[in-house]
């Protein structure tokens, strides 16, 4: 082994140690940098005349797990995706599951149960997961029935149906269940 190779090896090793020691691990899940996301970011949107709805969420994968009732326990607030809490932006008021939702951006949480899910639009923005969820910041809550799927859905998905006049349906599906939230534009 030549002296030059040995010097290059020591320089590489010293650089590696310096870089790895200089990186700080997050103190809590809220401090996790964007590079620590384990699930890809997905966006679903729809526009009707001057009204625009956009949902930004982390898209976790099933990976052979039973999701609801096991991986995501029944009766507990879920971030409705992965990574940061899912956020929904509404540019004009809409009727969502017979509830008038004002224009704004909200964190979108759900409480999955076997027969129904509680859908929550919350004013606490910029959260990592549901760790800092605060019920007092809820703007809207409503329940929707759960529908069973014959074929499991691998990647959690939020989608909007094609417009039917001034209406659409926001669907959330993962594993062997889905929920549908009817939305009407004004």
Task: pLDDT band for 3, please (50, 70, 90 cuts).
Answer: low
Enter the pTM of the model. 0.78
- How confident is the model at residue 129, as a pLDDT? 84
- How confident is the model at residue 70, as a pLDDT? 85
The length of the chain, given as a count of residues:
186
Calculate the CA 69 to chain-centre distance: 18
Q: What is the mean pLDDT of residues 33-48?
A: 81
Does position 20 have pLDDT exceeding 80, yes or no? no
- How confident is the model at residue 66, as a pLDDT? 87
What mean pLDDT, rounded, does the chain reach?
85
Does position 17 have pLDDT exceeding 50, yes or no? no
- How confident is the model at residue 92, as a pLDDT? 98
- What digits encode the pLDDT tens for the residues 46-91? 999 999 999 999 999 999 888 988 888 999 999 999 999 999 999 9
Does position 32 have pLDDT exceeding 50, yes or no? no
Q: Where would I find the H helices in 24-131?
A: none
How many Cβ atoms sit within 10 Å of the Cβ of residue 82? 19
Does position 28 have pLDDT exceeding 70, yes or no? no
Calculate the CA 123 to chain-centre distance: 15
What SS3 state is found at 46?
strand
- What digits encode the pLDDT tens for the residues 98-120? 999 999 999 999 999 999 999 99
161-168 long-range contacts (CB < 8 A, ≥24 apart) are 163/46, 163/48, 166/48, 168/46, 168/48
Which tops the pLDDT comparison, 149 or 27?
A: 149
- How confident is the model at residue 16, as a pLDDT? 42
């Amino acid at each position: 082994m030549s002296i030059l190779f040995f010097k290059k090896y020591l320089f590489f090793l010293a650089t590696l140690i310096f870089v790895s020691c200089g990186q700080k691990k997050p103190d809590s899940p809220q401090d996790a940098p964007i590079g620590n996301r384990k699930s890809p970011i997905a966006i679903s949107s729809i526009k009707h005349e001057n009204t625009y709805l956009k949902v930004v969420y982390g898209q976790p994968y099933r990976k052979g797990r039973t999701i609801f009732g096991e991986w995501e326990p029944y009766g507990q607030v879920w971030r409705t995706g992965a990574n940061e809490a899912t956020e929904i932006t509404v540019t004009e008021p809409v009727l969502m599951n017979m509830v008038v939702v004002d224009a704004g951006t909200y964190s979108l949480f759900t409480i999955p149960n076997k027969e129904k899910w509680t859908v929550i639009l919350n004013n606490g923005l910029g959260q990592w997961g549901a760790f800092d969820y605060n019920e007092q910041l809820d703007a809207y809550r409503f329940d929707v029935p759960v529908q069973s799927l014959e074929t499991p859905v691998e990647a959690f998905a939020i989608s909007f149906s094609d417009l039917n006049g001034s209406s659409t349906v926001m669907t959330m599906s993962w594993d062997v269940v889905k929920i549908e939230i009817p939305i009407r534009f004004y």
